[in-house]
Amino acid sequence: MALVNLIRRGQAKAFDTELVAVMQLLGDGRALLPSEIADVLGSPRSSVTRRIQALEGTGKIEIRPDPDDGRSYRV
C-alpha cells in the first residue's frame, strides 16, 4: 500500500488537473478574470492565482490589465 501511495503522490505532482482545467477554460481565447476562472472551476481564488502565475511564467498565457477595472487583470 505504501508503494501505491507513493505512486499517487508522484502522479499528483506530475499532472496538475487544476492547471489543465485553467488551460482548457482559456483555450477558446476569451480573456477571463481570475475570479471567473475560480467560480467556474469551483476552486479557491488563491489556488487559481498560483496556476495563472505558473502558466504566465512558462509563457503559455498572457496577463493584461482589465480595461473596465484598473485594479484587476484578465488572463
Domain total in the chain: 1
Calpha distance 10→8 (Å, rounded): 5
The predicted pLDDT at position 64 comes to 94
pLDDT over threshold 70, residue 11: no
Calpha distance 26→51 (Å, rounded): 12
The predicted pLDDT at position 69 comes to 87
- On whether the pTM is more than 0.75, the answer is yes
* Across 49-69, average pLDDT: 92
Q: Is residue 61 one of the residues assigned to a domain? A: yes
Cβ–Cβ < 8 Å for 45, 51: no
Q: Is residue 16 one of the residues assigned to a domain? A: no
| pLDDT band, very low/low/confident/very high, at 10 (cuts 50, 70, 90) | low
Dihedral sign, Cα of residue 39, residue 52, residue 49, residue 6? positive
The predicted pLDDT at position 74 comes to 94
The predicted pLDDT at position 33 comes to 94
Q: Is residue 3 one of the residues assigned to a domain? A: no
